[in-house]
A and B are shown apart, each in its own frame.
Chain A
Amino acid sequence: MEAFVSETGRAVVIPNDNINTDIILPKQFLKNILKTGFGKDLFYDWRYNTDGSLNEAFELNKPEHKDASILITGNDFGSGSSREHAVWALTDYGFRAVIGGGFSDIFYMNSTKNGLLPIVLPEENRKILRGIQADETIQIDLPEQTVTYKNNIFHFDINSQWKEKFINGEDDIDNTMKYEKLIAEFEKQRPNFG
């Protein structure tokens, strides 16, 4: 997975609460058997009109937000379906971090597998971030666990192991293979009733 140490980037604000994974990537796009190419369908029903044309009023479609790499959103982001395709759509589009009031547990874990940094900040911090102009940037420093915007420095929490994983970009399975012996031992003593 791609490592994440820091990011300085423009941000786009989609402030809604409860943006579920059906909204992030509707089900018709789950039929792909690859991990790539989902970015164009991100927020499909918001981004495109029913005739397939671009909904120019939607934040993501505004030319000034074209290069945004940080998404600022509301509470309970990524709820609903477990589809990791939602995370792949965000990363494929170019997002590297999502700042929200809270994330669903499954979405959070999926993000940690794909180098998309989920950052939980309280409403008073996000309120300030929502004021960001299109040409301004936010700095995210993972080792320091800070989000900096203008003169504001906000601290965020992250589990130390997920943090390390982001910074090293390490492969989970390779890491777990180091525990092979323990897994094999565990298997020997599992209850088995036939």
Chain B
Amino acid sequence: MSKTLFDKIWEKHVIAGEVGEAQLIYVDLHLVHEVTSPQPFDGLRSTNRRVRRPDLTFATMDHNVPTKDIFNVQDQMSRLQMDTLVKNTKEFNIPLASIGDDKQGIVHVVGPERGLTQPAKVIVCGDSHTATHGAFGAIAFGIGTSEVEHVLATQTIWQVKPKTMGIKVTGKLPKNTYAKDIIMGIIAKYGVSFGVGYAIEFYGETVQNLSMEARMTMCNMSIEAGSRTGMVQPDQTTFDYIEGREQAPKDFESAKNYWSQFYTDDESDFDKILTFDVSNLKPMVTWGTNPGMATPVDQYLPEIKDENDANAYEYIGLHPNMKPVDINLDYIFIGSCTNSRYEDLEIAANMMKGHHLAPNVTAWIVPGSRVIRNCAIKSGIAQIFEDAGCEWREPGCSACLAMNPDKIPAGKHVASTSNRNFIGRQGAGSRTHLASPAMVAAAGIAGHFVDITTDEFV
């Protein structure tokens, strides 16, 4: 019988239950961080339960960590949460990449970087951006805290199998447009909840030609379309990325042969298909307070259709007679599980090379992991950022969610490579404009957004 990539992986993991009902699914990799794990470990202690498979569990800290003066955690609540993770992982024998550790970083950057994220696995984490790992052809989804406890105790999870949706991406990406623009374009076109109840597979020639970093960016923002799971069929690009990494399978050839059987047989197997052509794609910028409120950089901001639009415009301090180039920026933020990988930083640095930030713009460059940070220092990218006047920080979630000291002040406009432009997300009263690393870097230089597909830039 003809099946999708999702179906094939799912079937390999069902322990009990029938399709249509809740099924007990085995979890191959459980990623843990400091925010959504204290209560589960407490729960295990109070019921005298153990962690079933510490060897399939990996912890790091990212949400709360400061990105400068990293060992000086001023916020006592943050410190307690971080200390609690250290204590819990020690007690339950779970490997931890703690602050300052050379493996530490954003959980969704670290999993792939260590080689833990592999095709055909079921991967969960108490974080909605877990879909990132689907870029490797894994079923990866975010779970709640009760589910974290359940996975720790049983290495399994009860789930009703979602429907499948194929998003076929076609066309050649115009110069200086990126995976970020594709996923933002898809969400702008289809809305922020079209993926609810579906597992999405991105496919088509355009997707095949993307790097692993770019695929991760796309899958990462599946949740901004309402879907817990985004995925891409594993191929040679995937295998090449994994090979040689610390936790890659020792018997790599056998693993590769196994992984190669996971692909969608026929697109008619999807419950639903959407299409998106990128041939004329423009860099995308959000103007409002959800990721669907986005516009191509060269267009006027949309007219006010309803109360949601009116509220968004009021909060963000813009109006429909403007274009993204008219948005004066106070901050730029390059980082987050969406866009903080080496390739993202390299693209941003190329845009900044030989230039300096506009006056009044503060720039925070926050690599996704210590490994990336070290690579960028070695290759000279870090120096380019510093020469341009940017603050070159230590790894963490930083201003993506501002649970740590990195907060955008009220009323300030920030061009951000992160994933959510919700009200107050990057700091109370902050005004977020999501875009690609290249767009954000160029905006930092100009002091406002610019169309980087024009002759001046390509």
Interface centre among B142, B249, B252, B422 (most CB of A within 10 A): B422
B331 contacts the other chain (Cβ, under 8 Å)? Answer: no
**B126 CB-CB contact with A under 8 Å:** yes
For residue B181, CB closer than 8 A to chain A, the reply is no
Chain B proximity mask over A20-32: 1 for CB below 8 Å, otherwise 0: 1011001110111
Q: Measured between alpha carbons, how far is A50 from B424 in the docked complex, in Å?
A: 12
* B156 x A110 contact (CB < 8 A): no
In chain A, what residue has the closest Cβ to B401?
A27
- Which residue in B28, B144, B192 is a CB contact (below 8 Å) of A82? B144
A139 within 8 A of B: no
**Which one of A33, A105, A161, A191 lies within 8 Å of B38 (CB-CB)?**
A33
Chain A positions within 8 Å of B422 at CB level: 20, 22-23, 80
Is there an interface contact between B26 and A27, defined as CB atoms closer than 8 Å? Answer: no
Binary B-proximity of A82-111 (CB < 8 A = 1, otherwise 0): 111101000000000000001111100110
Q: In the complex, are the beta carbons of A31 and B77 less than 8 A apart?
A: yes
Residues of B within 8 A of A76 (CB): 192-193, 196, 226
Q: Interface stretch among B106-114, B147-155, B370-378? A: B147-155
CA–CA, A30 and B192, complex, Å: 24
Given contacts A80-B420, A105-B162, A162-B22, contact A31 B81 (CB under 8 A): yes
Q: Mark B35-56, 1 if CB is under 8 A from A, else 0.
A: 1101100100001010010000
C-beta contact mask, A180-194 vs B, less than 8 Å → 1, else 0? 001100110011011
A179 touches B226 (CB 8 A): no
Contacts of B155 in A (CB 8 A): 183, 187
A187 contacts which chain B residues (CB < 8 A)? 26, 155
- Assess whether B228 is in contact with A183, with CB atoms less than 8 Å apart: no
The answer, yes or no, to whether B409 is at the interface (CB within 8 Å) is no
Q: How far is the CA of A26 from the CA of B22 in the complex (A)?
A: 31
Interface string of A44-85 (1 = CB under 8 A from B): 010000100000000000000000000000011001111111
B275 within 8 A of A: no
Q: Is the CB of A159 within 8 A of B250?
A: no
Q: Mark B310-350, 1 if CB is under 8 A from A, else 0.
A: 00000000000000000000000000000000000000000
| Structural contact, A186 and B308, CB atoms closer than 8 A | no
Q: Is B15 an interface residue (CB 8 A)?
A: yes
The residue among B52, B128, B250, B424 with the most chain A CB atoms within 10 A of its own CB is: B128
Binds B, one of A3-11, A129-137, A170-178: A170-178
Q: When the two chains form their complex, are residues B16 and A182 in contact, meaning their CB atoms are under 8 A apart?
A: yes
Judge whether A33 and B47 touch: CB under 8 Å.
Answer: no
B156 touches A30 (CB 8 A): no
- B158 CB-CB contact with A under 8 Å: yes
Task: Judge whether A160 is part of the interface by a CB distance below 8 angstroms.
Answer: yes
Q: Pick the contact of A193: B22, B250, B420, B423 (CB < 8 A).
A: B250
Determine whether B180 belongs to the interface, using a CB cutoff of 8 Å to chain A: no
Residues of A within 8 A of B24 (CB): 176, 179, 182-183
Per the bound structure, the CA–CA distance linking A45 and B228 in Å amounts to 26
In the complex, how many angstroms separate the beta carbon of B240 from the nearest chain A beta carbon? 17
Which chain B residues (65-112) contact chain A, with CB distance < 8 Å? 75, 77-78, 80-81, 84
The answer, yes or no, to whether B21 is at the interface (CB within 8 Å) is yes
Does residue A18 face the partner (Cβ distance < 8 Å to B)? yes
| A35, A45, A75, A105, most chain B CB atoms within 10 A | A105
* Residue A17 lies at the interface, judged by CB distance under 8 Å to chain B: yes
Q: What's the nearest-Cβ distance from chain B to residue A14, in Å?
A: 13
7 closest A-B pairs by CB: A194-B250, A193-B249, A113-B146, A33-B38, A31-B77, A110-B144, A193-B255
Interface residues of A (CB under 8 A from B): 16-18, 20, 22-23, 26-28, 30-35, 45, 50, 75-76, 79-85, 87, 102-106, 109-110, 113-114, 159-162, 172-173, 176-177, 179, 182-183, 186-187, 190-191, 193-194
Q: Contacts A80-B422, A104-B196 known; list 19 others, CB within 8 Å.
A: A17-B308, A18-B193, A26-B424, A27-B402, A31-B78, A45-B428, A76-B226, A80-B223, A83-B144, A84-B146, A105-B196, A106-B144, A110-B145, A110-B147, A177-B154, A183-B26, A183-B156, A187-B155, A193-B252
